[in-house]
Structure formats: structure tokens, C-alpha cells
Amino acid sequence: MRTQVVIVGGGPSGLLLGQLLHRAGIEAVVLERKTRAYVLGRIRAGVLETGLVRLMERAGVADRLHAEGFVHDGTEIAWEGGSFHVDFKALTGTPVIVYGQTEVTRDLYDAREAAGAQTIFEVEDVVIHDADTDHPFVTLTRAGQSLRIDCDFVAGCDGFHGISRQTIPLSVRREYEKTYPFGWLGVLSETPPVHDELIYANSARGFALCSMRNANLSRYYIQCALSDHPGDWTDDAFWAELKRRLPPDVAERLVTGPSIEKSIAPLRSFVTEPMRWGRLFLCGDAAHIVPPTGAKGLNTAASDVHYLIDGLVRHYHDGDDEGLERYSERALLRVWKAERFSWWFSGLLHRYPHMAPFDLKMQQADIAFLRDNEAQQRAFAENYVGLPY
């Protein structure tokens, strides 16, 4: 088999790249280790920056997003001094849209199927060969049959645990990582959201977040120990602890109910450099991980897709390789800014083990400065709604 681009990974970044390539008349095959149903069963955050929304529009898959997504003009920050609102729309002219990552993925799969573009599910033993030459190819096994796909380029969109990053020799790549000494316990419940925008809370008992998927589906998080397991937390214990971390008026109107999904996510910051090796290009979690604070994971993957589709279109349509040659440089410049914001925002809101009284006072002063200083709010808002590509 031969194609122009092999995309390893059928998550949102691989599917978005595939759809944009299709619209540009560039052939691509998507390889996915799991089934479509499995991919769509993964629950992920869904705060979309304007840049990602524009890419969905360009890909022709934004109709349902605009019809069902929730436009958020700002967010609430709660702390021991009360709570305050940061108005993204007033400060930057730009909102964010809350629309679940599962729905983004579903829209992209539907579009790919409607276009008749090829996706190969349940692949095993995927290996990327000769990526540092002009003739890369990918081998895989499916249903016991071996397959070779020759191509011009390979896009590694297969996540942190995928094979794409591991294909780049250790002598070439350098990895930067920070692990955080806590996790997020998340609960999904069929209850109305407690507020029409997200609430980020810093409390003496730890961080909390009130989010939503739709008008009758809410997502809540609390900071927890890395040693905790979801089974350690009954629903009643979770709701009681969440209420303790929220302002009294918010806790009073919180509607509780049985959890329909409960999980614990560790927090990590990770970046690998470079994001290109020969004709292999890394996108999204294959190249970088951010803490969920500020919802930059999916959005940073989208910015990678923006730079890569630009380079591929220029290569095929104009014979210009500058975009491909500078892909890693351009993508990493924005990645590190997103990493900085997620790291800073995490430090603003969480209680770290063994924080000294001075550290706590500095954290409170940082929040107060954000509350009182318009320039700081504008910088926060610019990062939250998404820095320009």
C-alpha cells in the first residue's frame, strides 16, 4: 500500500490532521490501535481555544460544535478572600467554547467516514522505518496479517505511550519532565452545572474545579494524593469534600447525584525536543504533556496540527519546504509558553506538600494580584483563550 501521509494514532489530533489533509487534497491513512468505540469512550476535558475552533471550521466539522457548545466569556477564581471573575471577552475580545473532546473526536470520525478516507483500526506491532530518509514506510499487523505502507511523511499522533516518539533515537531527542506530587480525582455526574462558567478554587484543603459537559452533565475535580484510588472515595465522601473546598454560596446550590464515571489523573509536565526527525513529525501528547489546569492539552495538540498542516500544504501545493523544516521550532515555541502557563496556574491553585507559611502567603498574594491588577488579568486571559499561532 502507498499513501502520502501515514498518521499513527486515531485520537483528535490525528483525526483533525487527517481531515485537514483530505480537504487539501492530500491522501492520508490513519492507524489506530483500538476500536472507534473505545476511542469515543475516553472521557477528556473540552475547553476549546479559538484557534482549535477555527481549525474545526476549516476542517468542515464545526456545525455541531457551534450548535451545542457553550460559549464562556470568562471564569471564576475562588480563594480564601472570596471569589472574582476574569472576563476573557472584555479583556481579549475572545471567549472559549466548552465542547467535550469526545464530541470533537466523534465529529471528526463521522467526517472521515463520510469522506471515505481510510482508517485502519485494531492495528498491532506498528513500526516506523527509515524516517530519516526520503523513503519512510510503516509496517503493522492487523487480524494476523502483515501490512506495509510506503509514504512521504509520518505524523506521530499516538500519545505519550505510543511508538512515534520512541522511534527518534535517544542520541537525538532530549526530554524535559516535571511530575507533581498530587493528582486530580474527577467525577462525572448527570446533574446540572453549579455555575454557567468554570470555577477554579484554591482552598486550605486543596484545589477544586467545577466544570461541565452540557446542561445536565457536570464534571467536578478535587486535588488528591497520588496514593489514592477511585475506589477509596464514595460518592458521598467526594461531594462532602468538594463542598468544603468551594465558597459557601456555591456549595449550597451544588446539586449532587450518583457518579457515572470516577477516575484519578496524575499531573505531569513533559516536553520532548525536537518534534521532527527526518520525515517523522510528532503531534500532541506524543511530544508534550501539560497539567490539566487551564485545559491546554487538546489545544496545544491543535496548534501542532496547525503548524504541520501548513508545512504539508506548502510542500505539496507550492513545493516549499520551509514550513516542514521549521515545524519543530515553531511548534515548540508555542508549546513551552503553554507549559509555562499550565505550570504557573497549577502553582497558583494547588496546595503542595510541605508548603511553608511564607509559600502560602506568596500564593495568596499572587491570587490577590490577579484579582486586583487588570494587566495581570489580561495576561491570564490571553493565555487561557489561547496565544496566537
Q: Any idea what the CATH number is for the domain that residue 371 is in?
A: 3.30.9.10
Using DSSP, state whether 365 is helix, strand or coil.
Answer: helix
User: Is 18 part of any domain?
Assistant: yes
Are 113 and 238 in a shared domain?
no
Question: What positions carry a catalytic annotation?
Answer: 72, 200, 292, 296, 384
Q: Identify the pLDDT of residue 43.
A: 67
User: Is 367 part of any domain?
Assistant: yes
Are 134 and 152 in a shared domain?
yes
User: Is 77 part of any domain?
Assistant: no
Q: Identify the pLDDT of residue 45.
A: 67
Give the amino acid at 11: G
Which residue segment(s) compose the domain that 341 sits in?
2-72+95-178+268-349
Are 197 and 65 in a shared domain?
no
Q: Which residues lie below 8 Å from residue 269, measured CB to CB, with a gap of 6+?
A: 176, 177, 178, 180, 289, 290, 291, 339, 342, 343
Number of H helices and E strands in the chain, helices first, is 14, 20
Q: Give the three cell numbers for residue 160.
A: 505519550
User: Is 109 part of any domain?
Assistant: yes
User: Is 78 part of any domain?
Assistant: no
**In whole angstroms, what separates CA 21 from the centre of its chain?**
21
User: Is 50 part of any domain?
Assistant: yes
Q: How far is the C-alpha of 321 from the C-alpha of 380, rounded, in Å?
A: 35
Are 222 and 137 in a shared domain?
no
Are 170 and 203 in a shared domain?
no
The CATH number linked to 105 is 3.50.50.60
C-alpha angle with apex 226: 224 to 231, nearest 5 degrees?
Answer: 70
| Predicted TM-score (pTM) of this structure | 0.95
Are 339 and 199 in a shared domain?
no
Are 325 and 233 in a shared domain?
no
Are 102 and 246 in a shared domain?
no
Are 170 and 273 in a shared domain?
yes
Residues 173 and 278: beta-carbon distance below 8 Å: no
User: Is 327 part of any domain?
Assistant: yes
pLDDT tens, position by position, for the chain (389 residues)?
A: 999 999 999 999 999 999 999 999 999 999 999 999 999 887 676 899 999 999 999 999 999 999 999 999 999 999 998 999 999 999 999 999 999 899 999 999 999 999 999 999 999 999 999 999 999 999 999 999 999 999 999 999 999 999 999 999 999 999 999 999 999 999 999 999 999 999 999 999 999 999 998 888 999 999 999 999 999 999 999 999 999 999 999 999 999 999 999 999 999 999 999 999 999 999 999 999 999 999 999 999 999 999 999 999 999 999 999 999 999 999 999 999 999 999 999 999 999 999 999 999 999 999 999 999 999 999 999 999 999 99
- Whether the CA torsion 193, 198, 202, 205 is positive or negative: it is positive
What is the tally of structural domains in the chain? 2
Nearest-10 crossing angle of helices 297-313, 50-58: 40
Residues 193 and 246: beta-carbon distance below 8 Å: no
Are 309 and 358 in a shared domain?
no
Residue 93: Cβ-neighbour burial (10 angstroms; 0-12, 13-18, 19+):
exposed
User: Is 276 part of any domain?
Assistant: yes
Are 229 and 164 in a shared domain?
no
Are 192 and 246 in a shared domain?
yes
